[in-house]
């Protein structure tokens, strides 16, 4: 394949054939193409775009670049969920055991976080003894035994995406919709999913800042799913403030367990129930979203969801007693209150800055080599729209090292906007995109 001709072809706005895309990915994985040529092709894609067929072909070429999970031995429709990322987004720890407790098998492959707090694996590792690195055979056996496994992504799954993303990150080509969508969807398809539920975040703490951007990404990913034969639905959810109240790994695990035990209400629970309902519906396990939500709610009230999380923790080496004894989770040395400086109402929050505040305490990482402190972070006591009085506690900072506490509190303070009147409230759910919406 002549790479220069391929670059020129896309630069001029012409379509790349399936064979050309597959050959490009195959050769790039084998280091037979120089990075500077791939960079030129990526930039041409940013200017000219990819059509639906090209995007689907790129997605499947990346899927086929490495290992794929074979879940045929697990009965039923296998449904996966993916979030585009946000602050205090602990939905996987809630909906995965809840969905599994309804008799629906859940094989979840998750990753670590970079920035803000940790990813799902980092949060689970805050549970003493929990091991996310199970062999594929052991993970599948766990699903067959208890209906659920949550494991780390294998090193050779979608290697083309890892290599391309590293290059996109340093060449200013990250934010092209087809490249974003194919990156996300390739990992979900390689994970063995028959159906995919996407949680596309929008707002100050999300990759997509506007509804227009979020809906465009949602449509792009649902289109890929449709083109490659996967049932796919995308829900656009709000990230203008943290989804949960806890921001920090062990703190988020505790909040997730509290939701599962029926001790906490709010947007974290509501979004988890909505996503879980779609997982049950898209897999054909319920006839309506209302029925799905009812089943999930029942398994919160009767304790089956929390017991399923205990099963998961036990089979993956963790101490399942954390379900009833939160003191077994890592504890910070000190809790420092953040007090309101004036009366009024919280009119808005910058979720990204609140995440940064938690990261400064040690709850997140700037590079993959950084070590996360699972005990630290912050717990908010107020949300947007809540009234506050001067001297009232707005948040509590869980601290082990005080060297960055002043900076963390300063960042948190700048993230809040206080006004005298009660503000209008935005919805948690901005909309949905299904295959029927794609022409």
Across residues 270-276, what is the average pLDDT? 97
Looking at domain 331-419, its CATH superfamily turns out to be Pyrimidine nucleoside phosphorylase-like, C-terminal domain (3.90.1170.30)
Per-residue pLDDT tens digits for 373-411: 999 999 999 999 999 999 999 999 999 998 899 999 999
Would residue 168 show up in a list of annotated catalytic residues for this protein? Answer: yes
Would residue 82 show up in a list of annotated catalytic residues for this protein? Answer: yes
**Percentage of the chain lying above the pLDDT 90 cut:** 74
User: Which of the following is catalytic: 23, 108, 163, 168?
Assistant: 168
Question: What pLDDT, on a 0 to 100 scale, did the predictor assign at position 205?
Answer: 83
Instruction: Provide the mean pLDDT of the chain.
Output: 92
Looking at domain 3-49, its CATH superfamily turns out to be Transferase, Pyrimidine Nucleoside Phosphorylase; Chain C (1.20.970.10)
pLDDT band of residue 368 (cuts 50, 70, 90) is low
144 vs 257 pLDDT, higher one: 257
Name the token pair of 24: 């490009």
Would residue 80 show up in a list of annotated catalytic residues for this protein? Answer: no
Q: Which architecture characterizes domain 79-156+168-325+430-437 according to CATH?
A: 3-Layer(aba) Sandwich (3.40)
User: Which of the following is catalytic: 80, 161, 199, 311?
Assistant: 161
User: Which of the following is catalytic: 101, 183, 191, 204?
Assistant: 183
132 vs 85 pLDDT, higher one: 132
Would residue 183 show up in a list of annotated catalytic residues for this protein? Answer: yes
Most confident of 184-198, 332-346, 354-368: 332-346
CA distance 196 to 206: 20
Across residues 42-47, what is the average pLDDT? 96
| Predicted structure pTM score | 0.91
The structural domains of the chain, with segments of one domain joined by +, span 3-49, 79-156+168-325+430-437, 331-419
Is 434's pLDDT higher than 70?
Answer: yes
Per-residue pLDDT tens digits for 189-247: 998 888 999 999 999 888 888 999 999 999 999 999 998 899 999 999 999 999 999 99
Name the token pair of 195: 């159906």
Is 75's pLDDT higher than 90?
Answer: no
User: Which of the following is catalytic: 9, 82, 108, 188?
Assistant: 82
Question: What pLDDT, on a 0 to 100 scale, did the predictor assign at position 154?
Answer: 74
């Amino acid at each position: 394949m002549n790479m220069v001709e391929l670059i020129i072809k896309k630069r001029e706005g012409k379509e790349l054939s399936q064979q050309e895309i597959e050959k490009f990915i195959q050769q790039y994985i084998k280091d037979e193409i120089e990075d500077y040529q791939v960079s030129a092709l990526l930039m041409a894609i940013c200017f000219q775009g990819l059509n639906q067929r090209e995007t689907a072909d790129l997605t499947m070429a990346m899927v086929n670049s490495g290992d794929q999970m074979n879940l045929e031995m697990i009965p039923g429709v296998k449904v996966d969920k993916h979030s585009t990322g946000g602050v205090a987004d602990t939905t996987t720890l809630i909906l995965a055991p809840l969905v599994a407790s309804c008799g629906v098998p859940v094989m979840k492959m998750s990753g670590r976080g970079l920035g803000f707090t940790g990813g799902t694996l980092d949060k689970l590792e805050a549970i003493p003894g929990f091991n996310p690195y199970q062999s594929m055979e052991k993970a599948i056996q766990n699903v067959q035994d208890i209906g659920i496994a949550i494991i780390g992504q294998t090193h050779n799954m979608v290697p083309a995406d890892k290599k391309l993303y590293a290059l996109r990150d340093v060449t200013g080509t990250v934010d092209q919709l087809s490249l974003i969508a194919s990156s996300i969807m390739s990992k979900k398809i390689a994970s063995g999913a028959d159906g995919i539920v996407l949680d596309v975040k929008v707002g100050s703490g999300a990759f997509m800042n506007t509804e227009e951007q979020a809906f465009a990404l949602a449509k792009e990913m649902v289109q890929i799913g449709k083109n490659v034969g996967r049932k796919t639905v995308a829900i656009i959810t709000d990230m203008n403030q943290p989804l949960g109240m806890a921001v920090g790994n062990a703190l988020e695990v505790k909040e997730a367990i509290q939701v599962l035990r029926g001790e906490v209400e709010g947007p974290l629970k509501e979004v988890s129930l909505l996503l879980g309902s779609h997982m049950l519906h898209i897999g054909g396990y319920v006839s309506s979203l209302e029925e799905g939500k009812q089943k999930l709610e029942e398994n919160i009230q009767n304790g089956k969801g929390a017991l399923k999380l205990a099963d998961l923790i036990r089979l993956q080496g963790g101490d399942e007693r954390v379900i009833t004894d939160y003191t077994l989770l890592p504890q910070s040395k000190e809790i420092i209150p953040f007090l309101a400086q004036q009366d009024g109402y919280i009119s808005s929050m910058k979720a990204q800055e609140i995440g940064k505040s938690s990261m400064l305490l040690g709850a997140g990482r700037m590079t993959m080599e950084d070590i996360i402190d699972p005990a630290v972070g912050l717990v908010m006591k107020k949300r947007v729209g809540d009234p506050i009085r001067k001297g009232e506690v707005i948040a509590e900072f869980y601290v082990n090292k005080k060297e960055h506490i002043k900076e963390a509190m300063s960042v948190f303070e700048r993230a809040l906007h206080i006004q005298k009147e009660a503000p209008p409230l935005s919805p948690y759910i901005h909309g949905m995109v299904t295959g029927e919406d794609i022409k």
